[in-house]
Structure 1
Amino acid sequence: MRLKLLLAAAALAASACQSPAIAAESIYRAPAAERVAKEGPGLKTAIFAGGCFWGVEAVFSHMKGVKSAVAGYHGGTKGQAKYDLVSSGITDHVEAVKVVYDPAVVRYDQLLRVFFSVVADPTLKNRQGPDVGPQYNAALIPLSAEQRAVASAYLAKMKASGVWDRPIVTGIEAAKTFYPAEAYHQDFAKKNPNHGYIKRWDAPKVAGLKKLYPSLYRASFQTG
């Protein structure tokens, strides 16, 4: 019976990275960080939850220094880490992207600035763009003490900046298990550039990256 209820809820889900567009998202120039990340040599990893993972992955995949961006599900259980269930909002996952980057090329604080400039609206709770539900909540998920300190300082900077006209509600979450999403979700924007959702919601994010931060923009798409 429980399985039937889960499947029924999934079938009735109104938002799943496929909702009709309502209005274009806003692009902001988030403030530069005062606390610069110092992570040392070698590749680093961080997780970002910013609504539908297609757009989050697309933006980070176009950033210099990013070696991979993998769409997936953060938190919850392995058994429920499936798109039809997660997108229904009945699990404890959020859609997220695991980013591997070279801090010698792009720092964590720069990733944060881009994230809040063109990817996620930090004034929204349990929604981003046209997608509504706890599975689309925006959050920073640092994987080291340095990332956590930088993220905390950056959120404080954002709140004091006056850039946004509503309160900042995006916060920091403790790292839990990250489950890669199904293969067809990986590099979705690259594989489906003419998809209605991508054209309306995610292509403008990539364009915003190119416009606001040309020194960080990479024309080629770094696949996960």
Structure 2
Amino acid sequence: MEFTSSMLPFVSLWLAVLFAFALRIKDRGLSTEWVPSVTLKKALLGVSLVSLIADVLLIRTGRPALALMFTSLAFLLVGREVLRKFDWALVLTFVFIFVDFNELAFLLKDAGLQFPREGSELFLVSAVLSQLFSNVPATVLLLAGKPEWLPLSLGVNVGGNGFVIGSLANLIALRIARVSVKDFHRISIPYFSVTLLLSGVLLALF
């Protein structure tokens, strides 16, 4: 609840800015023909919900290996097509991000390099670092310094916009929606600039 209540003013601000940007976009002849049809598989939906709840409970009680075994077995029994079509490369990318950038964070710390740990400085640094190598690695890198959670969360959320590399979600979306990087940047960079400025002002008022 603390996280939600603290983030709500900023998320509301971002949505308001996004809506203002959307109003400026005229009909560009966008088509939804590329959107695949969706078929609801009730059994798969059920096992997915059960697995999600079980995984959260198991991981929070310190049993991640058991969570992995439970989920793998559940989908082997009910939804093998999920495992076959799974984007394993994307998962491995996240694994290596957490391993590599966590180690890098401690190496930089041992070398005496200190990142900001609070306030507007942390917000700005996390947003800028996200532009350089994505917001998830930026989060992992900055977590080693045990920073304040709110400026860090705000910075990497805002930092997920801007350059396409700001978030892996951008790359996934571009691949699915078939939008050019140029068209993406035409909207995302101005949006990033506006939300960065307004969020920084709002954070300073808190």
Is TM > 0.5 for Structure 1 vs Structure 2?
Answer: no
- After TM superposition, the score normalised by the length of structure 2 is 0.26
- After TM superposition, the score normalised by the length of structure 1 is 0.25
**Larger-Rg structure:** 2
